Amino acid sequence: MRATKRVKFVDSSTNNNGSHVILNVGGMRFETQRTTLKKLPATRLSKLTPQLSFYDPVLNEYFFDRHPGVFSQILNYYRTGKLHYPTNVCGPLFEDELSYWGIQREEVEPCCWMTYTKHRSTQETLQTLDSLGLDTARSNMNDLIKKFDWEDDLHFMTTGQLPLAKRIRLITWQLFEESRSSIIAKIIAFISILFILLSITTFVLRTLSIFEITEYDFVDVYIGNNSTEKAFVLTTGRRNIVYGFDIIEWICNSWFTFEIVLRFILAPSKRVFCVSILNWIDFLGTFLFFSTYILYNVFNYDGHYASLDLLSTIRVARMFKLINLHPRLRIITTSISYSSRLLVLSIYFCFVVIMIAGAALYYVERLSDISQSQIISVMDGIWLALTTVTTIGYGDIVPKSLLGMILGAVTTIFGVLIIDLPMPIVNEIFDNFNKHLLARQQLPKQRRRVTQMAIPRKIKPFIPTNRNVHHQHET
Going through 52-181 in order, the beta strands assigned E by DSSP cover 55-56, 61-64
Gap between the Cα atoms of 320 and 281, Å rounded: 9
CATH assignment of 12-130, among 3.20.20.70, 3.40.50.2300, 3.30.710.10, 2.40.420.20: 3.30.710.10
Among the residue ranges 274-283, 333-342, 380-389, 455-464, the one predicted with the least confidence is 455-464
CATH class of the structural domain 183-214+241-325: mainly alpha
Burial class (CB in 10 A: 0-12, 13-18, 19+), 88: exposed
Q: Is 147 in a helix, a strand, or coil?
A: helix
Q: Is 66 in a helix, a strand, or coil?
A: coil
Q: What is the pLDDT of residues 148-161, one digit of tens each?
A: 888 777 777 788 78
Gap between the Cα atoms of 62 and 73, Å rounded: 18
Q: Where do the CATH 1.10.287.70 domains begin and end in the chain?
A: 340-421
Q: Are strands 61-64 and 212-213 parallel, antiparallel or unpaired?
A: unpaired
Q: What's the fold here for domain 340-421? A: Helix Hairpins (1.10.287)
The answer to whether 259 and 196 have CB atoms below 8 angstroms apart is no
- Does this model's pTM top 0.85? My answer is no
The residue among 354, 330, 340, 337 whose CA lies nearest residue 422 is 340
Gap between the Cα atoms of 420 and 349, Å rounded: 12
> Residue 262: is its pLDDT beyond 90?
yes
The residue among 271, 340, 321, 334 whose CA lies nearest residue 130 is 334
Q: Is 56 in a helix, a strand, or coil?
A: strand
CA angle 200, 285, 249 (to 5 degrees): 50
> Residue 12: is its pLDDT beyond 50?
no
Burial class (CB in 10 A: 0-12, 13-18, 19+), 14: exposed
Q: How far is CA 232 from CA 106, 176, 237, 241, 284, in A?
A: 85, 53, 15, 20, 39
> Residue 17: is its pLDDT beyond 50?
no
Provide the pLDDT confidence category of residue 2 given band limits of 50, 70 and 90.
Answer: very low
Gap between the Cα atoms of 262 and 273, Å rounded: 12
Query: What does pLDDT average to over the chain?
Result: 78
DSSP state of 231: E
Give helix 378-389 / helix 402-420 axis angle, nearest 10°. Answer: 50
The answer to whether 321 and 278 have CB atoms below 8 angstroms apart is yes
Q: What is the pLDDT of residues 165-221, one digit of tens each?
A: 888 888 888 888 888 788 898 899 899 989 999 988 888 888 787 777 666 666 565
> Residues with Cβ < 8 Å from 214, sequence gap 6 or more?
234, 235
Q: Where do the CATH 3.30.710.10 domains begin and end in the chain?
A: 12-130
Burial class (CB in 10 A: 0-12, 13-18, 19+), 219: exposed
Q: Where do the CATH 1.20.120.350 domains begin and end in the chain?
A: 183-214+241-325
Provide the pLDDT confidence category of residue 257 given band limits of 50, 70 and 90.
Answer: very high
